[in-house]
Amino acid sequence: MRVLPMGDRALLVELADAAEAQALHAELLRRRAAGSLPPVREIVPAARTVLLDGLDDPAALARQLPQWAVPPLSAAAQEVIEIPVRYDGPDLAAVAACWRTSEEEAIRIHAAAEYRVAFCGFAPGFGYLTGLPEQYAVPRRPTPRTSVPPGSLALAGPYTGVYPRSSPGGWQLIGTADTVLWDPAREPAALLTPGARVRFTVERR
Protein backbone atom coordinates (compact mmCIF):
# COMPACT_ATOMS: atom_id res chain seq x y z
CA MET A 1 0.00 0.00 0.00
CA ARG A 2 1.24 3.44 -0.95
CA VAL A 3 -0.58 6.51 0.36
CA LEU A 4 -0.15 9.55 -1.89
CA PRO A 5 -1.39 13.03 -0.94
CA MET A 6 -3.60 14.57 -3.65
CA GLY A 7 -3.88 18.27 -2.88
CA ASP A 8 -4.60 19.39 0.68
CA ARG A 9 -7.77 17.43 1.34
CA ALA A 10 -7.39 14.07 -0.39
CA LEU A 11 -5.40 10.85 -0.29
CA LEU A 12 -4.88 8.49 -3.20
CA VAL A 13 -4.24 5.03 -1.79
CA GLU A 14 -2.44 2.82 -4.27
CA LEU A 15 -2.70 -0.96 -3.93
CA ALA A 16 -0.91 -3.85 -5.60
CA ASP A 17 -3.88 -4.97 -7.68
CA ALA A 18 -7.64 -4.75 -8.23
CA ALA A 19 -8.46 -7.31 -5.52
CA GLU A 20 -6.53 -5.35 -2.89
CA ALA A 21 -8.20 -2.11 -3.98
CA GLN A 22 -11.65 -3.73 -3.72
CA ALA A 23 -10.81 -5.14 -0.30
CA LEU A 24 -9.67 -1.75 1.01
CA HIS A 25 -12.79 -0.12 -0.44
CA ALA A 26 -14.97 -2.67 1.40
CA GLU A 27 -13.06 -2.04 4.63
CA LEU A 28 -13.47 1.74 4.25
CA LEU A 29 -17.24 1.32 3.82
CA ARG A 30 -17.38 -0.97 6.89
CA ARG A 31 -15.49 1.57 8.98
CA ARG A 32 -17.60 4.45 7.73
CA ALA A 33 -20.79 2.55 8.57
CA ALA A 34 -19.38 1.78 12.02
CA GLY A 35 -18.51 5.44 12.58
CA SER A 36 -14.81 4.72 12.96
CA LEU A 37 -13.66 6.56 9.83
CA PRO A 38 -13.05 10.31 10.01
CA PRO A 39 -15.57 12.33 7.95
CA VAL A 40 -14.86 12.00 4.23
CA ARG A 41 -16.87 13.44 1.34
CA GLU A 42 -15.99 10.93 -1.37
CA ILE A 43 -14.63 7.38 -1.38
CA VAL A 44 -13.81 6.62 -5.02
CA PRO A 45 -12.39 3.21 -5.87
CA ALA A 46 -10.72 2.73 -9.25
CA ALA A 47 -8.61 0.13 -11.03
CA ARG A 48 -6.05 -0.29 -8.26
CA THR A 49 -6.49 2.82 -6.12
CA VAL A 50 -9.01 4.23 -3.67
CA LEU A 51 -9.39 8.01 -3.47
CA LEU A 52 -10.48 9.59 -0.20
CA ASP A 53 -11.53 13.21 -0.82
CA GLY A 54 -12.74 15.92 1.53
CA LEU A 55 -10.73 14.92 4.59
CA ASP A 56 -10.07 17.41 7.38
CA ASP A 57 -6.73 15.86 8.32
CA PRO A 58 -5.40 13.68 5.51
CA ALA A 59 -1.95 13.44 7.10
CA ALA A 60 -3.34 11.72 10.20
CA LEU A 61 -5.26 9.13 8.15
CA ALA A 62 -2.22 8.65 5.90
CA ARG A 63 -0.23 7.59 8.94
CA GLN A 64 -2.92 5.16 10.15
CA LEU A 65 -3.89 3.47 6.87
CA PRO A 66 -0.77 1.29 6.42
CA GLN A 67 -1.38 -0.18 9.89
CA TRP A 68 -4.90 -1.38 9.10
CA ALA A 69 -5.54 -5.10 8.89
CA VAL A 70 -7.64 -5.30 5.74
CA PRO A 71 -9.38 -8.68 5.32
CA PRO A 72 -9.53 -10.07 1.79
CA LEU A 73 -12.85 -9.76 -0.03
CA SER A 74 -15.36 -12.42 0.82
CA ALA A 75 -18.45 -13.20 -1.19
CA ALA A 76 -20.33 -14.38 1.87
CA ALA A 77 -23.72 -12.99 2.77
CA GLN A 78 -23.83 -10.45 -0.01
CA GLU A 79 -26.75 -10.34 -2.37
CA VAL A 80 -26.06 -10.97 -6.04
CA ILE A 81 -27.66 -8.62 -8.58
CA GLU A 82 -28.93 -10.64 -11.54
CA ILE A 83 -29.07 -8.93 -14.92
CA PRO A 84 -30.91 -10.81 -17.69
CA VAL A 85 -29.08 -10.43 -20.99
CA ARG A 86 -29.80 -11.27 -24.61
CA TYR A 87 -26.39 -12.18 -26.00
CA ASP A 88 -27.09 -10.57 -29.38
CA GLY A 89 -24.38 -7.88 -29.61
CA PRO A 90 -22.77 -7.00 -32.96
CA ASP A 91 -19.30 -7.93 -31.65
CA LEU A 92 -20.23 -11.33 -30.21
CA ALA A 93 -18.73 -13.16 -33.18
CA ALA A 94 -15.52 -11.15 -32.96
CA VAL A 95 -15.22 -11.83 -29.23
CA ALA A 96 -15.86 -15.57 -29.78
CA ALA A 97 -13.16 -15.56 -32.47
CA CYS A 98 -10.78 -13.79 -30.11
CA TRP A 99 -11.47 -16.47 -27.52
CA ARG A 100 -11.05 -19.17 -30.25
CA THR A 101 -14.44 -20.65 -29.54
CA SER A 102 -18.02 -20.67 -30.79
CA GLU A 103 -20.58 -17.97 -30.02
CA GLU A 104 -22.56 -20.47 -27.93
CA GLU A 105 -19.50 -21.29 -25.85
CA ALA A 106 -18.56 -17.61 -25.52
CA ILE A 107 -22.04 -16.93 -24.10
CA ARG A 108 -21.66 -19.85 -21.69
CA ILE A 109 -18.24 -18.55 -20.54
CA HIS A 110 -19.46 -15.00 -20.00
CA ALA A 111 -22.65 -16.00 -18.18
CA ALA A 112 -20.81 -18.53 -15.99
CA ALA A 113 -18.54 -15.96 -14.38
CA GLU A 114 -19.47 -14.05 -11.23
CA TYR A 115 -18.69 -10.37 -11.36
CA ARG A 116 -18.01 -7.57 -8.93
CA VAL A 117 -18.30 -3.83 -9.56
CA ALA A 118 -14.70 -2.68 -9.17
CA PHE A 119 -15.55 0.97 -9.70
CA CYS A 120 -17.80 3.39 -11.57
CA GLY A 121 -16.88 6.13 -14.00
CA PHE A 122 -17.22 7.31 -17.59
CA ALA A 123 -20.92 8.07 -17.08
CA PRO A 124 -23.25 8.07 -14.07
CA GLY A 125 -24.05 4.46 -13.28
CA PHE A 126 -21.43 2.89 -15.55
CA GLY A 127 -19.71 0.13 -13.57
CA TYR A 128 -16.39 -1.50 -14.43
CA LEU A 129 -17.01 -5.16 -13.56
CA THR A 130 -14.20 -7.60 -12.86
CA GLY A 131 -14.61 -11.36 -12.66
CA LEU A 132 -14.11 -12.66 -16.19
CA PRO A 133 -11.06 -14.96 -16.09
CA GLU A 134 -7.90 -13.22 -17.19
CA GLN A 135 -7.44 -15.17 -20.41
CA TYR A 136 -10.68 -13.69 -21.79
CA ALA A 137 -9.49 -10.07 -21.83
CA VAL A 138 -10.26 -8.47 -25.21
CA PRO A 139 -8.97 -5.28 -26.85
CA ARG A 140 -11.17 -2.26 -27.39
CA ARG A 141 -12.51 -1.80 -30.91
CA PRO A 142 -9.96 -0.04 -33.14
CA THR A 143 -12.54 2.63 -33.95
CA PRO A 144 -15.07 3.58 -31.28
CA ARG A 145 -18.74 3.69 -32.25
CA THR A 146 -20.23 7.18 -32.22
CA SER A 147 -23.36 5.84 -30.56
CA VAL A 148 -23.81 2.74 -28.43
CA PRO A 149 -27.43 1.86 -27.51
CA PRO A 150 -28.42 1.97 -23.84
CA GLY A 151 -28.32 -1.43 -22.14
CA SER A 152 -25.44 -2.67 -24.31
CA LEU A 153 -23.36 -5.33 -22.54
CA ALA A 154 -19.75 -4.72 -23.46
CA LEU A 155 -16.22 -5.98 -22.90
CA ALA A 156 -12.80 -4.30 -22.94
CA GLY A 157 -9.56 -5.32 -21.29
CA PRO A 158 -10.37 -7.20 -18.09
CA TYR A 159 -13.73 -5.42 -17.70
CA THR A 160 -17.38 -6.05 -18.42
CA GLY A 161 -19.81 -3.12 -18.42
CA VAL A 162 -23.37 -2.18 -19.35
CA TYR A 163 -23.92 1.24 -20.96
CA PRO A 164 -26.54 3.03 -18.80
CA ARG A 165 -27.58 5.26 -21.70
CA SER A 166 -26.72 5.98 -25.30
CA SER A 167 -23.17 7.32 -25.67
CA PRO A 168 -20.11 6.98 -27.84
CA GLY A 169 -18.11 3.89 -26.94
CA GLY A 170 -15.18 1.73 -27.96
CA TRP A 171 -15.94 -1.50 -26.12
CA GLN A 172 -16.96 -4.78 -27.79
CA LEU A 173 -20.75 -5.17 -27.66
CA ILE A 174 -21.86 -8.73 -26.91
CA GLY A 175 -25.42 -8.34 -25.65
CA THR A 176 -28.38 -6.26 -24.51
CA ALA A 177 -30.00 -5.82 -21.10
CA ASP A 178 -33.36 -4.20 -20.39
CA THR A 179 -32.51 -3.56 -16.74
CA VAL A 180 -32.51 0.14 -15.78
CA LEU A 181 -28.97 0.85 -14.61
CA TRP A 182 -29.35 4.51 -13.79
CA ASP A 183 -32.42 6.27 -12.39
CA PRO A 184 -31.80 9.50 -10.46
CA ALA A 185 -35.20 9.10 -8.76
CA ARG A 186 -34.12 5.76 -7.25
CA GLU A 187 -32.00 5.32 -4.13
CA PRO A 188 -29.27 4.54 -4.96
CA ALA A 189 -29.55 6.02 -8.43
CA ALA A 190 -27.03 3.52 -9.78
CA LEU A 191 -27.99 -0.17 -9.80
CA LEU A 192 -24.32 -1.13 -9.88
CA THR A 193 -22.41 0.44 -7.01
CA PRO A 194 -18.77 -0.31 -6.23
CA GLY A 195 -18.42 -3.64 -4.45
CA ALA A 196 -21.75 -5.07 -5.69
CA ARG A 197 -21.80 -8.70 -6.91
CA VAL A 198 -23.36 -9.30 -10.32
CA ARG A 199 -24.40 -12.25 -12.48
CA PHE A 200 -25.64 -12.18 -16.06
CA THR A 201 -28.40 -14.65 -16.91
CA VAL A 202 -29.10 -15.75 -20.48
CA GLU A 203 -32.37 -14.56 -22.01
CA ARG A 204 -33.50 -16.23 -25.20
CA ARG A 205 -32.71 -14.20 -28.30
Partner 1 sequence: MTDRALAVVRAGALTTVQDLGRPGHAHLGVPRSGALDPSAARLVNRLVGNADGAAVLETTLNGCAVRPRCAVTAAVGGAPCAVTVDGRPAAWGAPVRVPAGAVLEAGPAVSGLRSYLGFAGGIAVDAVLGSRSADLLSGLGPPPLSEGSVLPLGTPRGPSPAQPDAAPWPGPPAELVLRIRLGPRDDWFTPEAPAALASGAYRVSSASNRIGLRLEGPPLRRAVTAELPSEGLVLGAVQVPPDGRPVVFLADHPTTGGYPVVAVVDERDLPAAAQARPGAPVRFVPAVRPSHSSGRRHSSGRRLDSRGRLDSRGGHGSRGGHGSGGP
Residues making contact with partner 1 (CB under 8 A) = 4-10, 12, 41-51, 53-54, 56-57, 59, 119-126, 128, 148, 154, 156-157, 161, 163, 167-171, 184, 188-190, 193-194
Q: Which is nearer to partner 1, 128 or 200 (CB)?
A: 128
Closest distance between partner 1 and the C-beta of residue 4, in Å?
A: 4
Specify the residue, 171 or 200, whose C-beta has the smaller distance to partner 1.
171
Please write down the HEC assignment for all residues of the chain.
CEEEEECCCEEEEECCCHHHHHHHHHHHHHHHHCCCCCCCCEEEECCCEEEEECCCCHHHHHHHHHHCCCCCCCCCCCCEEEEEEECCCCCHHHHHHHCCCCHHHHHHHHHHCCEEEEEECCCCCCEEEECCCHHHCECCCCCCEEEECCCEEEEEECEEEECCCCEEECCEEEEECCCCCECCCCCCCECCCCCCEEEEEEECC
Residue 88 CB, shortest distance to partner 1, in Å, is: 19
Q: Based on CB atoms, which residue is closest to partner 1, 35 or 184? A: 184
Nearer to partner 1, 84 or 170 (CB): 170
